[in-house]
């Protein structure tokens, strides 16, 4: 009991030093008055509350995850259904579909930015149809928000695709066969047979992807800059890097961490003994 | 497994190699400026026998890095560039220059600029100066507005196409102060006649400002101008370099002196300074590089190739037609008020402007409210 | 008829998804002028290595490459050194298993920025902030990769059949010998996959690299610098360098990814 348990000690020690201590320090920073060091103090949070950019970041951080996850799940499901069957060259197709996820995130975002730039590829194609170039990523425009949602979903859809592909492959064939023999049409077979069997995987996908989407950082930062489509992570980065306000950055980080932990409660509850 | 082990050994070796002949310089140059600066530095490498590693980084990150190295007691950066606004906060992390070692160099530099870098001894030397001027669209306007009434007339004729860098940051103060000064205001108090006159102008201009002015900063306002959404705004010389690279200047977009106010013309001094961090591993080499970069020949070359404004009084700005407006303002450049509570003062100007321009507050009331917060409350 | 339509849709999606890769390579190997032209060309004109040369001439590109590789390699060693013993420990103890699972979910869930600020302070005191070889980054990356690395390693170790181990024990081997000669070799495919995954995640990692390394940067923040200032050619050259290991690893891992190496993980 204790002997094998000791082997987990290095990991526990690592987590203590690099997770527990910084987390405690972050909370401490977030509740320390920057002008004087008084603790506890709500001053950093008051500074956040008075900053319109923080509220924009908060709103975006609440709106983005549901939209991104919805797109990912629908897209991932569609892709999995499309590529699960016996199509020619399906290995190539399945690998090709992984590319947006296989590319390093910064690389993918850099190209997305070039695609959506005022003189970028998308505007170039549209100009061929006589459409005026639109500044898709301009700060303050709704198109910037939509662009962040679409690009992030594009990047992460392959993950959901992979999860559902494995789940589809694991479906018991007899159930499928029985439904087929019943004469159920494709859509009915999907809705009444496949979908319920996929439900656990879908639920897991939504949960996990939702958690990841809450922590979104690079996509809005690289595509639009901090002020374009602010989210809590990039807002905290902005406070730390541009403004030099450690306290405000820590406070924003704490707000985001609380949101993430709250959203993770279903995940923690689901952890049953393996 | 053996592959991993080999990689480990290789990286350990690489890390262990002291590379003691390299000096590291962190500065905020654009990718378009890097090649020219790199070429200039290569000449020093040849004569000194040392290698220079140029690291382009933002001023905020540079500030944090030297603060971290000062706290840690040992560092990796030999020379840094910092913007004029962060000198006060960074002073503790850099070492003062030895006046004897700078023999004569400071005499050749602009005295006001040198004074701005003398915080607790001479810790910062001006690297490149900049100041604001008017950027205007020559395809829309026949000539740039020369006086405040011209400016107002242009705004009325083209509503929604005048831009200010109105986000709540230092750039807004840089848009406000020139108007305050050119109305005879001091710039460090909010309730003198000059401030009131300037803010009357802002109130008159408010209905004609571009709607995004409340969030504009240098990059975004420059982009809006490039797209044709604006016909004029205030910006720094680097924006003209970008416009020239895009082919927009000096044909369509040009620079001009700021409009003349009741007390003449004025503009605000910006620019970057170099300093040697407290724990620089090669301070002597860094000093040698600084002396070389601030030498007459090198400064003339940087002015010619990058359009930079040299801090040396004996190096005239390049005759780039795109920068003509900036050059014409050289005599009207003023540094920002040197006060220990400058951050609070700057905030007050920003708040007052935003109240007047975006919330329709009357100028006197907005100035009084912002000024009151400055005097009474916490900085 | 319908099959043709489905195949067409699949091919269209595949082409659309491959397009970013194509554009990166095109922009990397053609003069920057072409990438800035209007309207932008989709097909390469002149092929050249100029962007790589320019990028290497203006920033310390090769040291950044070495730093990325070094940090990723170190992260693999640290993560596996922590995860494998822990996976062995939780094999026998269900309580430790649950506890560790819970903690690792927290690791996975906490945003990097929340931890990066205090980590930076900690690293400053320990001399790890902006470390020349990126050792501080190794610590942060180990944190990021531990959940995934642990779960994959655990899956592989659990898959080792007990009877084989028990047979070796009955033959008189000590616990250590069983570990070295039976368990670990049998778990090697999963451990290999874990190593590759950890390398990939560390190689791609952007947030901590941006926050914890200022002048001694690995490749991702360098790419961000070029992208933020609108240099598609130079940015794509750096991107092309970053791509090579990333794509190789994904191609190698792809069968396992589909086969459910990740099914035991929180993905």
CATH number for position A145? 1.10.3720.10
Whether C59 sits inside 8 A of B56 (CB atoms) is yes
A111: chain C residues, CB-CB within 8 Å? 20, 23-24, 236, 239
31-50 in B: which are within 8 Å (CB) of C? 31-32, 34-35, 38
Show residues of chain A in contact with B220, CB under 8 Å.
138-139, 227
Pick from B19, B30, B31, B281 the residue to mutate for testing the C interface (most C CBs within 10 Å).
B31
Report the C-alpha gap between B160 and A172 in whole angstroms.
Answer: 65
Nearest to C200, CA basis, from C234, C266, C244, C143? C244
Chain B: give the shortest CA distance to residue A205, in Å. 33
Q: Provide, as residue numbers in chain C, all residues whose Cβ is less than 8 Å from the Cβ of B35.
A: 54, 57-58
Maximum average pLDDT range among A251-255, B71-75, C101-105: A251-255
- Place A176 in a pLDDT band, splitting at 50, 70 and 90: low
The distance of A43 to chain C (nearest Cα, Å) reads: 18
Instruction: Name the minimum distance, in Å, from the CA of C19 to any CA of chain B.
Output: 26
d(CA A90, CA A96): 10
> Among partner residues C27, C97, C250, which is closest to A102 by beta-carbon distance?
C250
β-pair partners for B162? B209, B232
pLDDT category at C109 given cuts 50, 70, 90 is confident
Q: Give the closest-approach CA distance of A242 to chain B in angstroms.
A: 5
Of A26, A103, A110, which is closest to C115 when you measure between CB atoms?
Answer: A26
C-beta atoms of B215 and A140 within 8 A? yes
Would the CB atoms of B227 and A227 count as touching at under 8 Å?
no
Other C-beta atoms within 10 Å of C65: how many? Answer: 18
Q: How many residues does chain A have?
A: 274
Chains in contact with A, where contact requires at least 3 CB pairs less than 8 Å apart: B, C
Residues in B touching C76 (Cβ below 8 Å): 4
Are the beta carbons of A11 and C86 closer than 8 angstroms? yes
Tell me: the pLDDT tens digits for A131-166?
Answer: 888 888 877 678 999 999 999 999 999 989 988 888
Q: What angle do CA A132, A134, A139 make, to 5 degrees?
A: 160
Cβ contact C211:C113 at 8 Å? yes
Searching chain B, which residue's CA lies closest to the CA of residue A242? B60
Burial zone of C202 (CB within 10 Å; 0-12 exposed, 13-18 middle, 19+ buried): buried
CA distance C255 to C252: 7
Residues of A in contact with B215 (CB under 8 A): 139-140, 227
Tell me the H-state helices in chain A: 2-6, 9-15, 21-30, 43-49, 52-84, 90-97, 99-102, 105-116, 121-128, 142-169, 173-181, 186-189, 195-214, 218-224, 232-241, 246-270
Residue A14 maps to a domain = no
DSSP A83-102: HHS--TTHHHHHHHHTHHHH
Q: Which residue of C has its CA nearest to B3?
A: C73
- B131/B175 Cα distance (integer angstroms): 11
**Are the C-beta atoms of C157 and C91 separated by less than 8 Å?**
yes
C-beta separation of C6 from A87 below 8 A: yes
| Inter-chain CB proximity C13 and A82 less than 8 Å | yes
Q: Where are the beta strands (DSSP E) in chain B?
A: 22-27, 51-56, 79-83, 94-95, 125-131, 133-137, 232-235, 253-256, 267-277, 333-334
Q: Do the domain assignments include residue A16?
A: no
Domain C66-216+246-264, second-level architecture: Orthogonal Bundle (1.10)
Closest-approach residue (CA) in chain A for C83: A11
Is the Cβ–Cβ distance between C135 and C128 less than 8 Å? Answer: yes
Rg (C-alpha) for chain A, rounded Å, is 23
User: Can you name the residues that pair with B254 across neighbouring β-strands?
Assistant: B136
Q: Which residues pair with residue B136 across a beta bridge? A: B232, B254
Q: Give the residue on B whose Cα is nearest the Cα of A241.
A: B60
Q: With H, G, I as helix, E, B as strand and everything else as coil, classify residue B128.
A: strand
Does the beta carbon of A142 lie under 8 angstroms from any beta carbon of chain B? no
Residue A19 in any domain: the answer is no
Q: Measured between alpha carbons, how far is residue B323 from residues A262, B32, B130, B176, B253 in Å?
A: 55, 17, 11, 21, 11
Let me know: does B152 contact B200? Beta carbons within 8 Å: no
Q: Which residues of B88-109 are buried (b: 16+ CB within 10 A; e: fewer)?
A: eebbebbbbbeeeebeebbebb
CB-CB neighbors (< 8 A) of A7 in chain C: 85-86, 88-89
For A274, counting Cβ atoms within 10 Å of its Cβ (0-12 exposed, 13-18 middle, 19+ buried), the class is exposed
Burial of B378 (0-12, 13-18, 19+ CB in 10 A): exposed
> Which residue in C58, C77, C198 has the most chain B C-beta atoms within 10 A of its own C-beta, making it the best mutation to test that interface?
C58
The answer to whether B240 touches B118, Cβ cutoff 8 Å, is no
Residues of chain B neighbouring C33 (CB-CB closer than 8 A):
none
**pLDDT at residue B307, rounded to an integer:** 80
Q: Is residue A266 situated within a structural domain?
A: yes
> What does the pLDDT read at residue B18?
43
Q: What is the DSSP letter of B140?
A: T
The CA distance from C8 to the nearest CA of chain B, in Å, is 39
Does A99 contact C239 at a Cβ distance shorter than 8 Å?
A: no
**What is A132-166 written as a DSSP string?**
PP--TT-TT-HHHHHHHHHHHHHHHHHHHHHHHHH
**Residue spans in chain B of domains classed CATH 3.40.190.10:** 20-130+269-330, 132-265+339-375
Q: Please judge whether C195 and B4 are an interchain contact, meaning their C-beta atoms are less than 8 angstroms apart.
A: yes
**Contact between chains at B215 and A118 (C-beta distance less than 8 A):** no
Is A267's pLDDT higher than 80? no
Q: How many CB atoms lie within 10 A of CB C169?
A: 15
pLDDT at A274: 36
Q: How many CB pairs under 8 A join A and B?
A: 29
Which ranges of chain C does DSSP label H, i.e. alpha helix? 2-29, 32-36, 50-58, 61-92, 94-109, 112-126, 135-158, 162-170, 175-178, 184-204, 207-212, 219-228, 232-259
Please state, in angstroms and rounded to a whole number, the distance separating the CA atoms of residues C253 and B276: 48
Would you say B136 and B231 are in contact if contact means Cβ atoms under 8 Å apart?
Answer: yes
Mutate to test the interface with C, among A16, A23, A99, A110 (most CBs of C within 10 A): A110
Residue A124 structural domain:
24-270
pLDDT band for position A195 (cuts 50, 70, 90): confident
Q: What is the CATH number of domain B20-130+269-330?
A: 3.40.190.10
Chain C within 8 Å of A139 (Cβ-Cβ)?
no
DSSP 3-state helix, strand, coil percentages of chain B (rounded to 5)?
Answer: 50, 15, 35
Residues 6+ apart with CB under 8 A from B315: B296, B299, B300, B303
* Number of domains observed in the structure of chain A: 1
Answer yes or no: are the C-beta atoms of C84 and A2 closer than 8 Å: no
The beta-carbon neighbor of C220 closest among A99, A103, A106 is A106
CA A263 – CA A257 distance, rounded (Å): 10
User: Could you tell me which of B379, B325, B353, C103 has the C-alpha nearest to residue B369?
Assistant: B353
Smallest Cβ–Cβ distance between C234 and the set B4, B7, B31 belongs to B31
Q: What's the CA gap between C215 and C228, in Å, rounded?
A: 17
* In-domain check, residue A154: yes
Contact call for B72 and C217, based on CB within 8 A = no
Q: Pick from A8, A105, A257: which is nearest to C114 by CB?
A: A257
A209/chain B closest Cα distance in angstroms: 31
For residue B17, the model assigns a pLDDT of 45
pLDDT of residue B319: 79
> For B226, which residue in chain A has the nearest alpha carbon?
A118
Report how far residue B83's alpha carbon sits from residue B90's, in angstroms, rounded to the nearest whole number.
10
Are A249 and C36 inside 8 Å of each other by CB? no
Tens-digit pLDDT profile for chain B (379 aa)?
Answer: 455 555 555 555 555 444 567 899 999 888 778 888 988 899 999 999 899 989 988 888 888 888 888 877 778 899 999 988 788 888 889 999 988 888 888 889 988 888 888 888 899 999 999 899 999 999 999 999 999 999 999 999 999 999 999 988 888 999 999 999 999 999 989 989 999 999 999 999 999 999 888 878 887 788 888 878 899 999 998 888 878 877 788 889 999 999 999 999 999 988 899 999 999 999 999 999 999 999 999 999 998 888 889 999 888 887 788 889 999 998 898 888 877 778 788 889 999 999 999 989 999 999 998 888 776 544 4
Cα nearest neighbour of A28 on chain C: C118
Tell me what pLDDT residue A141 has. Answer: 77
Torsion angle, CA of C173/C178/C182/C184, rounded to 10 degrees? -160
Q: Is A51 helix (H, G, I), strand (E, B) or coil?
A: coil
Find the mean pLDDT for residues A100-114: 92
Task: Tell me the mean pLDDT in the region C147-166.
Answer: 86
Q: Shortest Cα distance from C169 to chain B (angstroms)?
A: 26
Contact C93 A1 (CB under 8 A): yes
Between A60 and C173, whose confidence is greater?
A: A60
CA distance, residue A150 to nearest chain C CA (Å): 13
Angle at A24 between CA A21 and CA A29, to 5 degrees: 120
Q: Are C67 and C238 in contact (CB under 8 A)?
A: no
**Which band of pLDDT confidence, cut at 50, 70 and 90, is reported for residue C81?**
very high
Q: From chain C, pick out residues whose CB is under 8 angstroms from the CB of A225.
A: 228
| DSSP three-state, residue B27 | strand
Task: Please tell me the distance from the alpha carbon of residue C157 to that of residue C229, in angstroms, as a whole number.
Answer: 47
- In a 3-state reduction of DSSP, which class is residue A38? coil
Residue B26's φ and ψ, nearest 5 degrees, are -105, 120
- Residue C32's contacts (CB-CB under 8 Å, 6 or more residues apart) are C50, C51, C54, C231, C232, C233, C234
Nearest CB partner across the interface for A35, out of B61, B64, B378 = B378
Across the interface, whether the CB atoms of B34 and C59 are under 8 A apart is answered: yes
- ipTM of predicted assembly, 2 dp: 0.87
Gap between the Cα atoms of C253 and A110, Å rounded: 25
> Which among C230, C114, B358 is positioned nearest to A239, based on CA atoms?
C114
**Fold designation for B132-265+339-375:** D-Maltodextrin-Binding Protein; domain 2 (3.40.190)
Least confident of A46-55, A187-196, B59-68, B192-201: A187-196
CB A248 within 8 Å of CB A48: yes
Kindly state the percentage of chain C with pLDDT values over 90. Answer: 33
Average pLDDT, chain C: 86
Q: Whole-angstrom Cα distance, residue A149 to residue A152? A: 5
Chain B contact set for A135 (CB, 8 A): 223, 227
Is A139–B215 a contact, with Cβ atoms under 8 angstroms apart? yes
C-alpha A54/C-alpha A42 separation (Å) is: 16
Q: Find chain C residues with C-beta within 8 A of B68's C-beta.
A: 120, 123-124, 129-130, 214
In a domain, A11, yes or no: no
DSSP letters of B184-222?
A: T--SS-SSSHHHHHHHHHHHHHGGGB-GGGGT--HHHHH
For residue B168, give the nearest of B333, B29, B343 by alpha carbon. B343
At residue C266, the pLDDT reads: 30
B-chain residue closest to C65, CA distance: B11
Instruction: Return d(Cα C262, Cα C151) in angstroms, integer.
Output: 8
Chain B neighbors of A118, CB-CB under 8 A: 223, 227
Instruction: Give the neighbours of chain B: at least 3 Cβ pairs within 8 Å.
Output: A, C
């Amino acid at each position: 009991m204790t002997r094998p348990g000791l082997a987990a000690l290095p990991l526990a020690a690592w987590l203590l030093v690099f997770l527990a201590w910084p987390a405690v320090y972050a909370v401490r920073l977030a509740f320390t008055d920057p002008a004087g060091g008084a603790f506890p103090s709500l001053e950093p949070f008051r500074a956040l509350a008075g900053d319109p950019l923080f509220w924009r970041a908060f709103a975006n951080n609440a709106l983005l995850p549901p939209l991104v996850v919805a797109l990912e799940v629908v897209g991932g499901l569609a892709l999995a259904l499309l590529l699960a069957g016996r199509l020619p060259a399906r290995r190539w197709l399945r690998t090709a579909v992984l590319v947006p996820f296989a590319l390093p995130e910064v690389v993918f975002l850099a190209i997305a930015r070039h695609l959506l730039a005022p003189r970028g590829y998308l505007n170039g194609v549209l100009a061929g149809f006589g459409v005026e170039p639109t500044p898709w990523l301009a700060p303050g425009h709704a198109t910037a928000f939509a662009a962040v949602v679409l690009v992030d979903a594009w990047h992460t859809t392959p993950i959901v695709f992979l999860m559902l592909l494995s789940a589809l492959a694991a479906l018991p064939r007899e159930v499928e066969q029985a439904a087929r023999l019943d004469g159920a049409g494709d859509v009915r077979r999907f809705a009444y047979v496949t979908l319920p069997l996929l439900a656990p995987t879908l639920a897991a996908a939504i949960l996990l992807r939702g958690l990841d989407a809450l922590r979104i950082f690079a996509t809005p930062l690289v595509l639009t800059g901090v002020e374009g489509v602010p989210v809590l992570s990039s807002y905290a980065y902005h406070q730390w890097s541009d403004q030099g306000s450690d306290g405000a950055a820590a406070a924003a980080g704490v707000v985001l961490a609380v949101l993430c932990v709250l959203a993770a409660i279903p995940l923690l509850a689901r952890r049953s003994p393996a | 497994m053996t592959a991993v082990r080999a990689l480990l050994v290789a990286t350990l070796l690489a890390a262990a190699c002291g590379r003691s002949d390299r000096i590291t310089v962190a500065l905020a140059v654009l990718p378009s400026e890097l090649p020219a600066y790199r070429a200039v530095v290569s000449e020093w490498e040849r004569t000194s026998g040392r290698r220079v590693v140029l690291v382009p980084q933002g001023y905020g990150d540079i500030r944090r890095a030297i603060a971290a190295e000062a706290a840690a007691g040992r560092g990796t950066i030999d020379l840094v560039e910092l913007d004029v606004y962060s000198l006060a906060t960074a002073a503790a992390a850099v070492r003062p220059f030895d006046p004897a070692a700078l023999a004569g160099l400071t005499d050749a530099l602009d005295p006001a600029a040198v004074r701005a870098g003398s915080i607790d001894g001479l810790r910062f030397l001006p690297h490149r100066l900049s100041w604001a001027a008017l950027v205007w669209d020559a395809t829309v306007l026949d000539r740039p507005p020369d006086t405040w009434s011209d400016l107002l007339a242009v705004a009325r004729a083209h509503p929604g196409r005048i831009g200010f860098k109105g986000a709540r940051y230092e750039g807004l103060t840089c848009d406000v102060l020139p108007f305050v000064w050119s109305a005879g205001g001091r710039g460090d108090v909010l309730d003198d006649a000059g401030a009131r006159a300037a803010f009357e102008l802002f109130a008159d201009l408010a209905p004609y400002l571009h709607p995004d002015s409340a969030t504009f900063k240098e990059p975004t306002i420059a982009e809006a101008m490039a797209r044709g959404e604006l016909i004029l705004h205030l910006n720094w010389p680097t924006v003209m370099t970008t416009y020239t690279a895009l082919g927009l200047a000096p044909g369509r977009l040009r620079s001009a002196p700021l409009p003349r106010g009741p007390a003449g013309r004025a503009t605000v001094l910006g620019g970057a300074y170099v300093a040697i961090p407290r724990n620089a591993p090669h301070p002597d080499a860094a000093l040698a590089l600084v002396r070389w970069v601030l030498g007459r020949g090198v400064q003339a070359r940087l002015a010619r190739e990058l359009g930079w404004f040299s801090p040396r009084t004996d190096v005239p700005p390049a005759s780039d037609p795109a920068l003509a407006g900036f050059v014409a303002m050289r005599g009207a450049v003023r540094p920002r008020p040197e006060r220990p509570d400058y951050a609070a003062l700057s905030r007050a100007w920003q708040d007052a402007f935003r109240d007047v321009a975006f919330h329709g507050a009357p100028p006197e009331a907005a100035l009084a409210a912002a000024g009151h917060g400055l005097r009474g409350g916490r900085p | 008829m319908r099959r043709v339509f489905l195949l067409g849709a699949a091919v269209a999606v595949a082409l659309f998804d491959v397009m970013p890769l194509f554009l990166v390579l095109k922009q990397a190997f053609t003069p920057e002028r072409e990438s800035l032209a209007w309207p932008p060309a989709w097909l390469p004109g002149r092929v050249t290595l100029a962007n790589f040369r320019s990028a290497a001439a203006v920033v310390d590109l090769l040291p950044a490459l070495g730093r990325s590789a070094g940090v990723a390699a170190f992260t693999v060693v640290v993560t596996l050194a922590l995860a494998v013993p822990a996976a062995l420990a939780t094999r026998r103890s269900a309580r430790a298993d649950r506890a560790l699972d819970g903690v690792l979910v927290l690791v996975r869930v906490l945003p990097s920025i929340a931890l990066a600020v205090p980590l930076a302070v900690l690293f400053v005191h320990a001399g790890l902030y902006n470390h020349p070889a990126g050792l501080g980054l190794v610590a942060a990356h180990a944190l990021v990769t531990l959940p995934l690395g642990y779960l994959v390693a655990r899956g592989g170790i659990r898959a080792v059949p007990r009877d084989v181990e028990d047979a070796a024990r009955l033959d008189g081997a000590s616990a250590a010998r069983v570990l070295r000669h039976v368990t670990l070799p049998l778990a090697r495919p999963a451990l290999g996959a874990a190593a590759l995954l950890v390398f990939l995640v560390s190689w791609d990692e952007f947030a901590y690299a941006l926050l914890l390394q200022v002048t001694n940067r690995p490749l991702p923040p360098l790419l961000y610098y070029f992208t933020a200032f609108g240099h598609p050619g130079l940015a794509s050259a750096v991107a092309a360098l970053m791509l090579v290991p990333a794509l190789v690893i994904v191609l190698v891992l792809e069968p396992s990814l589909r086969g459910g190496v990740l099914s035991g993980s929180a993905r």
